[in-house]
Amino acid sequence: MEKQEIGTVTVVGTGTIGASWTCLFLAHGLDVVATDIREDAEAELIAAVERCWLSLPQSLLDAGRRGKLRFSADLEAACKETDFVQENAVERLDAKIELMHRIDAATSRDVIIASSSSAISVTDMQAACAHPERVVLGHPFNPPHLVPLVELVGGVRTEEVFLKQAECFYAGLGKVPIRLQKEIYGHVANRLQAAIFREAIHLLESGVASAEDIDRAVTEGPGLRWALMGPLLTYHLAGGEKGMSGFWEMFGPMQEKLWRELGSELPDPALQARVAAAVQRSHQDTASLALAADRNLNLRRLLTVRTAKSID
């Protein structure tokens, strides 16, 4: 099943992630049937899609495509005659199992059911499905209408053919799918983020630097390189002509000492409150919606520069 055979996508759950997916699908000319259980979900979705639309890549805007958006509060009706389901509801195991069961019963058996779940395993989510072979993880990065990464993996009952079809579908939307060779809690990118986040909290709690400066240490430093190459290739270059083995010669002992020292605080409620207060203090003048809009416009500019560079 190629992307062009998919004409209608059902988006289940229209919060932060579902709305951004909806914007991307529409911009590729796909029709979207969205569903959510919140009373005001339809109006909020329409507003969120318009906000996302403002930061879509110019090439997509120039293409001038826009599929039709329809909302149905009835999950089963929203799944009727769909070609692909992207599930983005609440991140709770019992809710995901129940939803997958209902989506599975409401869709034809060749329709891929992809979950955006940040950490729940497909094996768990497909447990109550009569046709679990088409249930996959399609985990995006926020906001999916801009950030290319999608993490793909199946559960024990998923069939490879559906993973290939999902990979092809996402690639056709300009996404960059990566395949996990096995399931792991939090997948790949969230685990990498968690490692940085945990150390950021450790540095904050230890009074080493302010919240603003810890964030700047990423955005003005390694974050710039990470937009171009990952942590492995970055250190390969740090090792000079000998590459990664040169890196270990030079920095192996330092890495060993650092790994032993890295923070291991657990996010109990008191720690969570202190971190929330510190971040709130540093951004108190700017509302989250404005910060997100600014981030999206800058992401769009960054992606344009990266694309131009790789074409050179």
Kindly list the residues in this chain that would bind ligand NAD in the complex (CB under 6 A). Answer: 12-18, 35-38, 41, 75, 88-91, 95, 99, 116-118, 139-140, 142
For ligand NAD, the closer of residues 18 and 247 by Cβ is 18
For ligand NAD, the closer of residues 18 and 154 by Cβ is 18
Q: Min. distance of Cβ 120 from ligand NAD in angstroms? A: 7
- Cβ–Cβ under 8 Å, residues 113 and 136: yes
Q: Min. distance of Cβ 144 from ligand NAD in angstroms? A: 8
Q: Min. distance of Cβ 6 from ligand NAD in angstroms? A: 20
For ligand NAD, the closer of residues 5 and 74 by Cβ is 74
For ligand NAD, the closer of residues 187 and 247 by Cβ is 187
Residue 120, judged by CB atoms within 10 A of its CB (0-12, 13-18, 19+), counts as buried
Q: Min. distance of Cβ 312 from ligand NAD in angstroms? A: 32
CA distance 257 to 1: 50
For ligand NAD, the closer of residues 89 and 214 by Cβ is 89
Q: Min. distance of Cβ 86 from ligand NAD in angstroms? A: 10
CA distance 13 to 15: 6
Q: Min. distance of Cβ 181 from ligand NAD in angstroms? A: 21
Through-space distance between the first and last CA atoms of the chain, rounded to whole angstroms: 33
- C-alpha triplet 72, 7, 142: angle, nearest 5°: 70
CA distance 20 to 247: 40
- In three-state secondary structure terms, 180 is coil
The overall longest dimension of the chain from CA atoms, in Å, is: 61
For ligand NAD, the closer of residues 35 and 107 by Cβ is 35
* Cα torsion 204, 214, 119, 69: sign: positive
For residues 259, 265, 266, 269, the Cα torsion angle rounded to the nearest 10 degrees is -160
For ligand NAD, the closer of residues 88 and 165 by Cβ is 88
Residue nearest to ligand NAD (CB): 15
Q: Min. distance of Cβ 155 from ligand NAD in angstroms? A: 15
Q: Min. distance of Cβ 19 from ligand NAD in angstroms? A: 8
- Cβ–Cβ under 8 Å, residues 89 and 21: no
For ligand NAD, the closer of residues 102 and 198 by Cβ is 102
CA distance 30 to 134: 20
CA distance 100 to 119: 16
CA distance 207 to 114: 42
